Amino acid sequence: MPTVNEHCNKCGQCVDACPAGAIQITEDQVIIDADNCVECGFCIDECPQKAIEE
Ligand code: SF4
Ligand code: SF4
């Protein structure tokens, strides 16, 4: 399961990259829904801040 670290600036690119619609951005955090995530790793590759870790 990917997790988001403190380098995230809420740019939203991971939301667009996720084929499963598993990522949501709220006012203060990025949430990855474990029930929907298929662990493809696309969000990790797409994050310009390298803020998503496996
Ligand atoms: S792509 Fe990276 S920096 Fe942008 S919202 Fe997602 S986790 Fe945060
Ligand atoms: S690993 Fe894939 S399915 Fe899971 S949150 Fe990232 S892009 Fe979405």
Q: Is the CB of 10 under 6 A from ligand 1?
A: yes
The token pair at 46 is 């797409």
pLDDT at 23: 98
Residue 24 sits in which domain range? 3-53
In this structure, which residue's CA is closest to atom 8 in ligand 1?
8
| Counts of helices then strands in the chain (DSSP H, E) | 2, 4
Would the pTM of this model clear 0.85, i.e. be above it? yes
- Residue 7, domain CATH: 3.30.70.20
R_g over Cα of the chain: 10
In a mutational test of the pocket of ligand 2, which residue from 5, 25, 39 has the highest number of ligand atoms less than 8 Å from its CB? 39
pLDDT at 19: 98
Q: Is 51 exposed, middle or buried (0-12, 13-18, 19+ CB in 10 A)?
A: buried
Per-residue pLDDT of 1-54, as tens digits, reads 999 999 999 999 999 999 999 999 999 999 999 999 999 999 999 999 999 999
Domain count of the chain? 1
Residue linked to tokens 């696309």: 42
